[in-house]
Amino acid sequence: MPPRPLVTERTVLDAADAGRDRLAVPPDALVTALARDTARDRGVEIVTSAGTPAALPADPPRQPTAPAKTLAVACDHAGFEIKDALAEHARGLGWTVTDLGTDSAASVDYPDFAYAVARAVHLGQVRLGLMIDGVGVGSAIVACKVPGVRAALCPDTFSAFNARAHNDANVLTLGSRTMGVEVCKRVLAEFLTTDFEGGRHARRVDKIRDVEARFLPGTPGAA
């Protein structure tokens, strides 16, 4: 099956910069979460090539707690070869997995997909997120920009345990070019089966939230 056409933030920005308020895409196009948000912000309507509005699911209201054992998974081209294996591993541990792309090894930009995972966590659509790129650093940086998301690059099981038990991390990033698939499976299993310990760690996580709140729009005394 050929890969679906990909519509990214850059596609939308190019249309907006050209003065267009409509962007025609193939009916089967994969429109990234960042592209959808950028289209809304820039006043660009995404439609199919037939001229009808593209099927872009609206964001649901943010839920206080996402359904238990729900996981959003995404990758860039570097992580594509191991994404399905990790998603299947999570399902084997009893998790419901939502695949947010990409769906081929064609080159894409990791921020589009890291953002999609982080947004799903932020909105309460899923409990946890997994993003795989070449090293995992870039995706962790992107995901941590989304309020309420605490992303952690974990190269080993101890890091995964600590990220969940002490930091209440809710997005795991992995590097396909620095970790083998079997190591990734073990790290993912540790991340998914470890609960936040609370206690003294809750005070520290609250301080993370306090730092984040200082830079949110409309926060009194921000920064």
Using the structure block, give the residue that is written with the tokens 């308020």. Answer: 21
Query: Among the options 89, 122, 166, 201, which is catalytic?
Result: 166
Under 8 Å between Cβ of 98 and 161 = no
Structure token pair of residue 162: 């600590």
> How does strand 22-25 pair with strand 128-133?
unpaired
Structure token pair of residue 120: 């799903």
Under 8 Å between Cβ of 167 and 174 = no
Structure token pair of residue 192: 């998914």
| 166 catalytic per annotation | yes
Q: How many CB atoms lie within 10 A of CB 117?
A: 34
CA atoms of 35 and 19, how far apart (whole Å): 17
Under 8 Å between Cβ of 150 and 170 = yes
Return the active site residues.
166
